[in-house]
Amino acid sequence: MKIQQAATTEDLKRCYEVMKALRPHHNLESFLITIEQMFKEGYRLMYLEDNNRAGLCGRLPFHNNPVRRAHD
């Protein structure tokens, strides 16, 4: 098992298979649109890969904000 960053459409499709259990209101298209917006806001989608399948997915903030870092 290894932790991966979802970077390709194929990665995102694998993550969708996991995330749809938590976000049943999304179909694949709306999930991809939401993730694209999330990326623009500085978030990244990480997943645990095992045998070429995503088993656990989560978003993490990767903001490049020097003011915020000064207060962390």
Structural domain of 13: 2-71
Q: What is the pLDDT of residues 10-38, one digit of tens each?
A: 989 888 988 888 888 999 999 999 989 88
Quote the pLDDT of residue 65.
53
Please tell me what DSSP assigns to residue 10: H
State the pLDDT at residue 70.
45
pLDDT for residue 72: 40
**Tokens 């996991």, located at residue:** 18
Q: Which residue did the predictor score with more confidence, 57 or 70?
A: 57
Task: Give the pLDDT confidence score for residue 71 in this predicted structure.
Answer: 41
Determine the Cα–Cα distance for residues 36 and 31; give it in Å rounded to an integer.
9
Domain count, the chain: 1
